[in-house]
Structure 1
Amino acid sequence: MFRTALRNVFAHKARLLMTVLAVMLGVAFVSGTLVFTNTISSALEKSSAKGFDHVDVALTPGSTKAEGDKVSKEVKLTDATLKKAGSVPGAASATGVVSGYAAVADQDGKLVGNGFSTKGGNYSGSAGKPDDRYPLAQGSAPHGKNQVALDSETAKRAGYKVGDQVRMSVDGPVLTPTLTGVFTTDDGNVAAGGSLALFDTATAQQLFHKPGAYDEIDVKAAAGTSQDQLKSQLDKALGSAAVDSETGQQLADDQAKSIATSMSSMKTMLLVFAGIALFVGIFIIANTFTMLVAQRTKELALLRAVGASRRQVTRSVLMEAFFVGAVAAVTGLAVGIGIGAGMRALMNGTGAVIPDGPLVISGGTVVSALVVGVLITMLAAWLPGRRAAKIPPVAAMNAVHAAPTTKSMVLRNTLGALVSAAGVAAVLAATTMSGDSGQAPMGLGAALLVIGVFILTPLLSRPLIAAAAPLMRAFGISGKLARLNSVRNPRRTAATASALMIGLTLITGLTVIAGSVQGAINKMAADSIKADYVVSMANGNPLSADVLKTLDKTDGVTATTGLTNSPSRVDGETEYLTGVNGRTIDQLAALTMDSGKFRVGGSDVVVDDKTAKDRGWKTGSAFTTTYEDGRKQELTVAGVYEGNEMMQGVLLDSATLNPHLADSAAATDMQVMVKMSGGATEANQDKLTKALGENPAIQVQDKQDISNQIAQIFTLMLNMLYGLLAMAVIVAVLGVINTLAMSVFERQQEIGMLRAIGIDRKGIKRMVRLESLVISLFGGVLGIGLGVFFGWAAGRLIGNAMSTYELILPWGRMGLFLALAAVVGILAALWPARRAARLNMLAAIKSE
């Protein structure tokens, strides 16, 4: 039987090629994902580990515990702490570290670096004693507020040389310090494409609002002192000051774990779509082996007649699958390694710089690729093999392939109806739930419904394909024959259409959800904001207090309010307060009131409906809050409003809140809302941008810009998913080609007869193409229908948390998806149609 299986593999090389390609693509995606993520993780881990070479123990500010009405406070690391840390037994030196956000613009005024990775810090060395952390490659260390040093990569990308003025910003006005030095660094953020700007310590403390304080103190151990021994000495000396300490090795290990965790989400997402491609490939493999078994009915029956058992016949088919899977897995692994290397090069090419490092091909990747390829193929071939074993020896006397019995079809349809009903019930039940509780039932219901529809596809194929009869009549006899051929073998048609159905289900569902969420965000911005513009930092950090002052003085500005966030304690629990300008907020925000009035001033506050419900507050309720500075005040709820993603929580007057901030002298806003005469126009936006010094770190956004920014993550994800799901569509195309090619082979005699009675080659080509078109459109209709249903159901779940959510059906895109299905069908039929038209009619009629 082993020799028989091997002979069959080599005898049907052309027929099995598409199956090998389908499995290979899935395996390549899996192995490519593993190679890519392992390579990046390894490079980032090694790069981050280098960043801790100069740190044996790192000290960071601890915090006092928040108990009762007390607000938690962060303990500051001061020069006294630095001096004390450097003098403990076993310490060779101690370096104070100051860090913050520093946006560096290039020569064209554009931000250099990657968002949050645009960092600033302090250069603690001097002319006689350089900073070991940042070896200078050119120039000298910065001194004073008008000097800065840049890392070599940033200086190169931005086009700066020593002596140039660097255009940059920390949190407010644009700074133009002179570049005095260029340094090298092993900082992982810089290696990954970020930027690092260094000032002298006093300047860095002033710029990052930490006068006389440090974010971290790095202590170097003396010779003969271990990191653990040094940590113990530091804890003994500084423990009472609530200072947290960690060894350099512990920091490196934590960083490695953090990188692994961040990469795991990307790896999971990529592997999910690799799984989808493999799942779609299962249909192709099962279809291929089903048809191969059907074409070899006589051969298998003769094997049974000469003594082969059912198990031997099944094993023969599984052996064929093993050989096919092994070839596909090895090929897919090789292609996957190339994909992993290519994805890394692509990321580097788009500016997302990845640290240098070797391509990582782990043993786990190799084993995963081989196991996945072989197991998937054998799993898909098991059912056809089992059917082959049931072929009775008497079938060797009959050239007609055994058709599915009525009993088997009834059982299949009954099972499909039950599974589909269970899936629909689970999805509908999930739509009534809220939050994360509905996600698991929704996923389970979606999986059951897809499986149920797949089981029912042979039953659904007849009425849906019959609906195309009027259109097919326009193509004469070729159209009629194509329609009849597409429903002749419902199981084969179902397996072929299902591969395309799954891909289009996902694409359509995601498009419906993304479009509806975008609409909800647009409506939210339009309904809740009266302001023409919202000004904020590009990285989400607080703005400088100078920004609000500058905007108030800008010509054309009629109203402004800053939004200042501050933690407080209410009834022993943390409650965040948002300070606003009580005199102008009603001109800048449009909030729907559930009760009371929108009145903010003095001790009057307004509260969103969720907070009011959780706290048991209503209009007229009074509560006592403890501010950051420890002082208490009784506040009164003047009204309850409908909260949303744009504005929520407790709103009170900035004049009431600001005196109680931890640093009331430098009160900072997370955002500033601006109203201008003439409304939101390009000229007004340019006026605000120029007034703020064309600062690369500050963004001035109108309502549409805000909507686009919030929805950007959905758009980016959707575009990525389109690219990934293209893999499933490619596999589906291979399935259609495979099915048609084998169908042509199976119907050689019939096609020869059609040619003999007068149908020309063009008619034969048209027949095969129309058959492919009908099957593809059938899969497309099912996929789009299921996608709309899932999009609606998921939208109901999202709508429970987003009040402005409404279902939006993207008719244009759905039409495009259906057209895509038609194109897939036409392209997939090119080779089978050409093959059918070139059949020798006499040889085909003679063939059995």
Structure 2
Amino acid sequence: MIRLALGTLRRHRGAYLGTFLAALLAVALLASGGLLLFSVLTTQPPADRFGAATAMVSGDREITLTITKEKKDKVKHKTKSERLTGAGTLPTDLAGRVAALPGVAAAVPDAAFPVLLATGDNRPVRGADDAPVIGHGWASAALTPFALRDGTAPGPGEVVLDADLAARAAVQPGDPVQITSRTGVHTLRLSGVAAPAGRDGLPAQGALFLADAQVREISGLPGPTAVAVVAAPGADHSALLAKLRTEVGDAPVLSGDDKVRADLPSALPDYIGPISIFGFVIGITAFAAIFVLTGTVALGGRQRLRELALLRTVGATPGLLRRLLGVESVLVALLAAVPGCPIGVVLANLVAARFRELGAVPAQFTVRTNVGVLLAAVGAGVLVVFLSARIAGRRAARIAPTQALAETATAPGGGRNGRLLLAIPPAGAAIAVLTFVPMGGPLGMGMGFVSCALLLCAVAAAGPVLVRPLAAGAARLVGAAGVTGWLAGMVSRAETRRVTAVAVPLTLMFAINATMLLNSTLSTKLASEEQALRTAPAAAQVTAPGGLPLGTVERIAALPGVTGTAAVLPTRVVLNEGGKPEDHPAQGLFDAGTERALDLGVRQGALAGEGTFAASDDLADARSWRAGDNVDMWLADGEPVTLRLSAIYERSRGFGDVVLPARLVAAHDPRGLAAMVALRGDDVTARVRAALPALTVVPDSAAASAGDAQDQQAAWELLVLISLGFTAIAVVNTFAIAAGARRREYADLRLAGATAGQVWRMATREAVIVVAVGLLMGAAVTAIVVGAFSTAQDGRFRLIVDAGTYLGMLGGVGLLGLLAGSVPTRLVLRRGSLPTIAEGR
């Protein structure tokens, strides 16, 4: 069987070229997506700041909840955890108690807190790869260890920078530096420069060291965020760890590679977001690969109907033909995997580089090549090609032997009812998703893709049934163009299966990409609109690189002529959702003055200050909250609090689901800085600039919307670009296969007296019909998904969202389809490319 398959592949290289190209692209995309997801799941922190410590005792770094369920005679425990964005602190006396344990040589308290670093001329400075700057006490320098390269250890009012930060700031001992923390702005003198052995600093974070006695004053921390334990020489480490766990109680004791988890979470690269991003990449590429490969292999099988009929005449059974097609497809897929895997590695690195530029992944993220992932991509590609060939071969192998003597060979068709039955499950599932899943929530974008994919599966299953009336309508319009148009319409109505095979990839190309792009555009647009509505009452907005301390905000609010001040401090909170801790974006709100400078669109209750909080209407509806309810939550550093819900607001896009008192956030979020201050009053811009010239003050009409929405839009556009490139090649490939399969048909037309120009014009008009059918089906799928997504967002039903984007996609896909349908035909019609009479019928 393998020898026969190799023989047919050598003889019919052109027939399998399309399948080879589709398999190559599929393997490359699956390999690239798999490598990206594998790399982000297995990545390790780039540096261990606690390399010199034996073990670390850590404050809270995550919230863990356990649910106990009794089922018959069994008791099941399910534990879920959520990572904190801040760091919980430990008792101030813990280091002394740990140091007294047998086998402990030293116990060093470590306080880690983010700071904004600026030079004397107010130029902001960050670490390598735009890494954050993290402050510590000087005693913590020995834990890496850092050693002084220049100058002296810091005293009161002094600071030591790592060598990399000092070089970026262009400062040397004796120069002033300015640091901003949640406690305020502090001007210190650089006393020295330090670095780890053989390096200028730590990857992923810049290190700044203060005098130990000044850490609490500048950081605002009530105690250390971790305690480092150094074992005495010859001590039994296992016994020491056991004693530590007994002494510290519930506090985590970390050793080995886990020590790095004792660091400040914001000092470590965050890979939670990239996991979902690359998971989505895998979902898109896998669906498109399966969809395209199935159609391409089926269309390639139709090219060989006469050959299969001839094999039937010499005694080949349908089962033998199906096995032959299966073996051929596996061989083609394996050949395609040879260049596909290295192309996938290159593509993964290109995508990672672009995501690093967008800030969607940490700057330190690198792609790791893994043989297992590449083999899995090859296996998935081979499996899809094999199954597609078996499905296509099941129908083609039933061809009657006598059809080998006919002018054309047509595969037995499937029944209309059978196709409709196949289409019902995915269509029903899509309707269920669009109806019952909250499309307006955080799952909206993902569920939009899922529902679009299900509808496309339904379209593919019911393809000929849907194509027949659409092709008939388009054929009537094209038929008005003359005899070639009339003939093109007749051929299209007669060959609905071929039209379906070519139109469905066009449907996929338009629907999947237009849906993602339009939904993302709508989300960004609505976030910008709500941002404008929130700040509409303000006359001006004040910002500073990295943020403003609450003390500075209070100074601004106290300026003469300022009648209203609203400052927001970004943070996160964790809520208990049915035994599962869930992280939510939140804001601390500072509100002062006689006039409100920020309008959240409160629809129930009122903002009430200390001891209370406000929730978005989406979150309140999902949790069935009402004003006056008491709600338990955890703050950024893991501090549990119970607050009363005083208000429910509408304008939460690009803002957050929870609003907390500003002082509460400043006390428990490691940054605790105001991202923006909105002001009301007379001539507030001039007043703020005169009092605080270092701040940036802009009229509210000139204020930009949140950058997160723009970054998210850029990330979505990159995903669309990847999908668009793959589906575009698939469309061209499909048209080329269809054109190659009609060489005999075109030769018959030439023998009947048609000129090459007439045949080409007929094929071009057929391409118009196919493109029209594909775009109509794609537009229908897009309208259903985008309309449902739009309605879920703000109650307005939109079909287009953005006319420029929609028409650009429509025109681009249509033009590609027309070119893909006409150019291959022109090549087939070249002199010498058509079969002659001598080649046999």
TM-score tier, shorter chain, comes to 0.7 to 0.9
Contact 1:512–1:788 under 8 Å retained in 2: no
Contact 2:116–2:180 under 8 Å retained in 1: yes
Q: What's the counterpart of residue 503 of structure 2?
A: 497
Q: What's the counterpart of residue 584 of structure 1?
A: 594
Distance (whole Å) between structure 1 residues aligned to residue 629 and residue 302 of structure 2: 77
Contact 2:445–2:519 under 8 Å retained in 1: no
Equivalence map 1:689-728=2 (5 Å): 694=694, 702=700, 705=703, 707-709=705-707, 711-728=709-726
Distance (whole Å) between structure 2 residues aligned to residue 739 and residue 233 of structure 1: 72
Distance (whole Å) between structure 1 residues aligned to residue 776 and residue 622 of structure 2: 45
Q: What's the counterpart of residue 232 of structure 2?
A: 222
Q: What's the counterpart of residue 538 of structure 2?
A: 531
Paired residue secondary structure (2:286): helix
Matched, 1:247 2:255: yes
Distance (whole Å) between structure 2 residues aligned to residue 133 and residue 790 of structure 1: 53
Matched, 1:387 2:395: yes
1:133, CA displacement in angstroms?
1.7
Question: Which amino acid letter does the alignment assign opposite residue 319 of structure 2?
Answer: R
Paired residue secondary structure (1:402): coil
Matched, 1:509 2:522: no
Gaps of 5+ in 2: 64-85, 636-641
Question: Which amino acid letter does the alignment assign opposite residue 118 of structure 1?
Answer: P
Contact 1:561–1:673 under 8 Å retained in 2: yes
Residue of 792, 805, 809 corresponding to 2:801: 809
- Tell me: CA distance 1:705–1:227, structure 2 relative to 1, closer, same or farther (3 Å): farther
Paired residue secondary structure (1:589): coil
1:136-181: CA deviation from partner (whole Å, max 9, x where unpaired): 4742345246543334444455555666554653347665545454
Matched, 1:280 2:285: no
- Tell me: CA distance 1:187–1:88, structure 2 relative to 1, closer, same or farther (3 Å): farther
Paired residue secondary structure (1:88): coil
Contact 1:469–1:480 under 8 Å retained in 2: yes
Contact 1:516–1:805 under 8 Å retained in 2: no
Q: What's the counterpart of residue 101 of structure 2?
A: 88
Q: What's the counterpart of residue 302 of structure 1?
A: 310
1:464-495: CA deviation from partner (whole Å, max 9, x where unpaired): 34444576467644444444444442112212
Paired residue secondary structure (1:464): helix
Paired residue secondary structure (2:123): coil
Contact 2:502–2:735 under 8 Å retained in 1: no
- Tell me: CA distance 1:549–1:283, structure 2 relative to 1, closer, same or farther (3 Å): same
Equivalence map 1:46-125=2 (5 Å): 47-48=46-47, 50-61=48-59, 77=90, 80-104=93-117, 109=123, 112-113=126-127, 117-125=131-139
Q: What's the counterpart of residue 300 of structure 2?
A: 289
Question: Which amino acid letter does the alignment assign opposite residue 59 of structure 1?
Answer: V
1:503, CA displacement in angstroms?
2.7
1:122, CA displacement in angstroms?
2.1
Contact 1:191–1:354 under 8 Å retained in 2: no
Gaps of 5+ in 1: 66-72, 629-633
Distance (whole Å) between structure 2 residues aligned to residue 279 and residue 591 of structure 1: 46
Residue of 334, 337, 342 corresponding to 1:329: 337
Matched, 1:791 2:798: no
| Structure with greater proportional helix content | 1
Distance (whole Å) between structure 2 residues aligned to residue 716 and residue 414 of structure 1: 39
Paired residue secondary structure (1:102): strand
Matched, 1:19 2:19: yes
1:333, CA displacement in angstroms?
1.3
Q: Which stretch shifts more, 453-462 or 155-164?
A: 155-164
Matched, 1:196 2:207: yes
Q: What's the counterpart of residue 833 of structure 1?
A: 825
Distance (whole Å) between structure 1 residues aligned to residue 540 and residue 811 of structure 2: 41
Paired residue secondary structure (2:462): helix
Matched, 1:748 2:776: no
Distance (whole Å) between structure 1 residues aligned to residue 379 and residue 835 of structure 2: 43
CA RMSD between the two structures: 5.1
Question: Which amino acid letter does the alignment assign opposite residue 729 of structure 1?
Answer: T
Contact 2:127–2:205 under 8 Å retained in 1: yes
Question: Which amino acid letter does the alignment assign opposite residue 334 of structure 1?
Answer: P
1:210-239: CA deviation from partner (whole Å, max 9, x where unpaired): 37x322221111222244322333344455
1:260-284: CA deviation from partner (whole Å, max 9, x where unpaired): 8666434422211220331232244
Q: What's the counterpart of residue 451 of structure 1?
A: 457
Question: Which amino acid letter does the alignment assign opposite residue 57 of structure 1?
Answer: A
- Tell me: CA distance 1:203–1:452, structure 2 relative to 1, closer, same or farther (3 Å): same
Contact 1:431–1:793 under 8 Å retained in 2: no
- Tell me: CA distance 1:726–1:476, structure 2 relative to 1, closer, same or farther (3 Å): same
1:477-522: CA deviation from partner (whole Å, max 9, x where unpaired): 4444444444442112212221221232122222332233334334
Contact 2:19–2:296 under 8 Å retained in 1: yes
Question: Which amino acid letter does the alignment assign opposite residue 747 of structure 1?
Answer: E
Distance (whole Å) between structure 1 residues aligned to residue 229 and residue 514 of structure 2: 56
Contact 1:101–1:116 under 8 Å retained in 2: no
Distance (whole Å) between structure 1 residues aligned to residue 666 and residue 36 of structure 2: 47
Paired residue secondary structure (1:45): coil
1:325-364: CA deviation from partner (whole Å, max 9, x where unpaired): 110122211222333344456667789776598x743342
Q: What's the counterpart of residue 430 of structure 1?
A: 436
Paired residue secondary structure (1:218): strand
Distance (whole Å) between structure 2 residues aligned to residue 353 and residue 188 of structure 1: 21
Distance (whole Å) between structure 2 residues aligned to residue 267 and residue 470 of structure 1: 45
1:11, CA displacement in angstroms?
1.1
Contact 2:111–2:226 under 8 Å retained in 1: yes
Q: Which stretch shifts more, 710-719 or 337-346?
A: 337-346
- Tell me: CA distance 1:720–1:347, structure 2 relative to 1, closer, same or farther (3 Å): closer
1:783-827: CA deviation from partner (whole Å, max 9, x where unpaired): 22211211122334445xxx7997762222111111111221244
Distance (whole Å) between structure 2 residues aligned to residue 293 and residue 568 of structure 1: 60
1:702-758: CA deviation from partner (whole Å, max 9, x where unpaired): 47856443523541332122122123323323333433432442423234236x44x
Question: Which amino acid letter does the alignment assign opposite residue 367 of structure 1?
Answer: L
Distance (whole Å) between structure 1 residues aligned to residue 572 and residue 770 of structure 2: 61
Paired residue secondary structure (1:319): helix
- Tell me: CA distance 1:557–1:827, structure 2 relative to 1, closer, same or farther (3 Å): farther
Distance (whole Å) between structure 1 residues aligned to residue 613 and residue 51 of structure 2: 51
Distance (whole Å) between structure 1 residues aligned to residue 355 and residue 88 of structure 2: 41
Q: What's the counterpart of residue 31 of structure 1?
A: 31
- Tell me: CA distance 1:473–1:688, structure 2 relative to 1, closer, same or farther (3 Å): farther
Using the size of structure 1 for normalisation, the TM-score is 0.78
- Tell me: CA distance 1:777–1:708, structure 2 relative to 1, closer, same or farther (3 Å): farther
Question: Which amino acid letter does the alignment assign opposite residue 728 of structure 1?
Answer: F
Contact 1:173–1:546 under 8 Å retained in 2: yes
Equivalence map 1:155-170=2 (5 Å): 155-156=166-167, 165-166=176-177, 168-170=179-181
Contact 2:32–2:347 under 8 Å retained in 1: yes
Q: What's the counterpart of residue 729 of structure 1?
A: 727
Contact 1:97–1:217 under 8 Å retained in 2: yes
- Tell me: CA distance 1:401–1:534, structure 2 relative to 1, closer, same or farther (3 Å): same
1:368, CA displacement in angstroms?
0.6
1:651-695: CA deviation from partner (whole Å, max 9, x where unpaired): 88x9xx99x9979xx99868643224368xxxx4x9757865646
Contact 1:55–1:219 under 8 Å retained in 2: yes
1:102, CA displacement in angstroms?
1.7
Using the size of structure 2 for normalisation, the TM-score is 0.79
Distance (whole Å) between structure 2 residues aligned to residue 293 and residue 626 of structure 1: 65
Paired residue secondary structure (2:369): coil
Q: What's the counterpart of residue 674 of structure 1?
A: 679
Question: Which amino acid letter does the alignment assign opposite residue 782 of structure 1?
Answer: M
1:28-60: CA deviation from partner (whole Å, max 9, x where unpaired): 122223334545666x42734x44422222123
Contact 1:507–1:722 under 8 Å retained in 2: yes
Q: What's the counterpart of residue 780 of structure 1?
A: 775
1:426, CA displacement in angstroms?
2.3
- Tell me: CA distance 1:818–1:585, structure 2 relative to 1, closer, same or farther (3 Å): same
Q: What's the counterpart of residue 140 of structure 1?
A: 151
